[in-house]
Amino acid sequence: MDTTICPWCDSEIVWDPEFGPEELCPHCHNELNGYRTLNIALDEDEDEEYVEGGQKPPAEVRRAPVAPVAPQEEQQQSFASRATSLLNDAELFTQPSLSSLKTIEQYGDENFNMVQYEENVEQLLDQQEEIPQCPHCQEYMLLAGTQEMGGTGFTPLPATANNVAILPSTFKVNVYVCPSCFHVHQSLCEDERVAIIDKITNLNEQ
């Protein structure tokens, strides 16, 4: 028995001398007939470079054959390409550009000093301990104040058998406004956050 090493996948192929060597690798299905010769015509500029250097332009270049693509793999690549194209098309219709979400740009021609506006926004942001990002246009939001929530219409949900609720019947939230698209966002105040963390941490002890 004789053996051949596949130049593509380095697999050892055993073949019977009576039948001769394999033409295709049984592992990667690539040809085992060695390298092929491709004739490549050189441009006139390339010919001149070889002549000036004292070298003759090569008549042919030896290159390895391109590995064939299996039909199933080609079909999978086609499906993946179509899926990517459909996703890209869908994003064009479902995701507006951030510039179109910035309402402030509509007031640039109404005698407002937009440069001064942006500078003052930066000053206000520098004074904030927390600077959330607007979920609508991704700009930083300004803290506008606090608001008491709960009371009428809000029923705390007990989180344990001892009827301990995560939030009390009334609580305070920070109110943020986006200086770009004027979207309003609410977030629990610091004291309420600390109280929630403490309650959830000690649920099993209550």
Number of H helices, E strands in the chain: 5, 7
Residue 65 has pLDDT above 60, yes or no: no
Which band of pLDDT confidence, cut at 50, 70 and 90, is reported for residue 123? Answer: very high
pLDDT band for position 109 (50/70/90)? low
> Is beta strand 2-5 parallel, antiparallel or unpaired with respect to 12-15?
antiparallel
* Nearest to 165, CA basis, from 110, 203, 130, 128: 203
- Name which of 160, 124, 170, 123 is nearest 145 in CA terms: 124
Look up residue 4 and give its two tokens: 């051949």
- Mean pLDDT of the 69-94 span: 61
pLDDT attached to residue 29: 76
- Which band of pLDDT confidence, cut at 50, 70 and 90, is reported for residue 111? confident
The neighbouring-strand residues paired with 147 are: 173
State the average pLDDT for the chain. Answer: 75
Angle among Cα 56, 58, 60 to the nearest 5 degrees reads 160
pLDDT tens digit sequence for 4-53: 788 778 777 776 777 777 778 877 877 777 655 566 666 656 555 555 55
Indicate whether 95 pLDDT > 80: no
Average of per-residue pLDDT across 168-192: 93
Confidence of residue 186 (pLDDT cuts 50, 70, 90): very high
Per-residue pLDDT, 61: 46
Tokens of 105: 């740009």
What one-letter code names the amino acid at 5?
I
